[in-house]
Structure 1
């Protein structure tokens, strides 16, 4: 069985953009896979998540592997049953919670991008060879 992938050797959020179509959804998908890779949903899904996060198997390919797809279906059954028991109001509340979570993730991504741009512009020290502070 695969070992837990080293975070620096993991795929990044861009690996999931063809599925998610949105950076926030891609990040949340990666985070969900990280939780699965911790093993809380069983050994089969742990292995699948580790394989996907390491880049050895793509998520679409993993879904076509019968052992993984069967584990996904079996793991989703309790959620489906719970969903079926919910009222429309409860479903709408959960959908609103999901939208809020996506918006929080979008804001976090925007903040990270701003910080990255600011770091790229220097932290007030200026460029190493900017020529500031000396003359001939």
Structure 2
């Protein structure tokens, strides 16, 4: 199913990711990035296939989570992370959580800057029909 890696293939819009993240655009963006990493093969062949299916829009993320082969692989791949988390002290966990919050805030600022720039670009361009600057001569 490597055809999903073809850029000409259909890509799922962000509405599914927004639904999964309770309409948080930054978390939706990070979810998409995570799926893109998995689609590159970082999590092994089963998670690569799952991510490609979701990113192409052929399968929803909730639906993919219910496929036993994908779920089993996700559990297997996450086990070392869970063990590492369990071995951390409370202060290490707090530091890691704080770093995650900083990253989310940085992503939020970046998204706001992008939206502001887009808005300024749109408002700065004249419409063909706005009547300003028109002259018969």
TM-score after normalising by structure 1: 0.90
CA shift at 1:8, angstroms?
7.0
* Within-5 A mapping of 1:58-69: 58-69=60-71
C-alpha spacing 1:14/1:112, structure 2 compared with 1 (3 Å):
farther
CA distance, structure 1, for counterparts of residue 11 and residue 134 of structure 2: 45
TM-score after normalising by structure 2: 0.89
Query: Alpha carbon RMSD of aligned pairs, Å?
Result: 1.7
Structure 1 unmatched runs, 5+? none
Match of 2:88 in 1: 86
CA shift at 1:40, angstroms?
1.4
Match of 1:6 in 2: 7
Task: Extract structure 1 runs of 4+ deviating beyond 4 A.
Answer: none
SS state at 2:34 partner = helix
Deviations 1:56-113 (A, max 9, x none): 0000000000000000000000100111111101000000011111111111211121
CA shift at 1:36, angstroms?
0.3
CA distance, structure 2, for counterparts of residue 49 and residue 57 of structure 1: 9
* Within-5 A mapping of 1:1-136: 1-3=1-3, 4-6=5-7, 9-21=10-22, 22-123=24-125, 126-136=126-136
Would you say how many aligned residue pairs link Structure 1 and Structure 2? 134
